[in-house]
Structure 1
Amino acid sequence: MRALIAAATGLAVAFALVLTITAMGSPAGKTSPKPLLTTVPAHP
């Protein structure tokens, strides 16, 4: 019974942590205007 209570408590804490992080929202900022290179440029 103690293990079940511990598991439920851990699950509740994890759920509360996820909700807290979600409520804070994404960090402010912007993405880079430069595209990511997917291939290595040719060397001269």
Structure 2
Amino acid sequence: MRALIAAATGLAVALALVLTITAVGAPSGETSPKPLLTTVPKHP
């Protein structure tokens, strides 16, 4: 029974966090125009 209460509490906290972040909205700012490098460049 304690595990069920702990799981419900954790779920409620997670849901509250998601709703809070959604209500606040995305932070304003600009993204970098340069693309991120995801691979190591080849050397000739």
Answer yes or no: same fold by TM over 0.5: yes
Q: Percent identity?
A: 76
Q: Which has the larger radius of gyration?
A: 1
Number of residue pairs the alignment of both structures matches = 40
CA-based RMSD of the aligned residues comes to: 2.2
**What is the TM-score with the length of structure 1 in the denominator?**
0.65
TM-score, length of structure 2 as denominator length: 0.65
Q: Runs (4+) of structure 1 moved beyond 4 Å?
A: none
- Which runs of no fewer than 5 residues in structure 1 stay unpaired? none
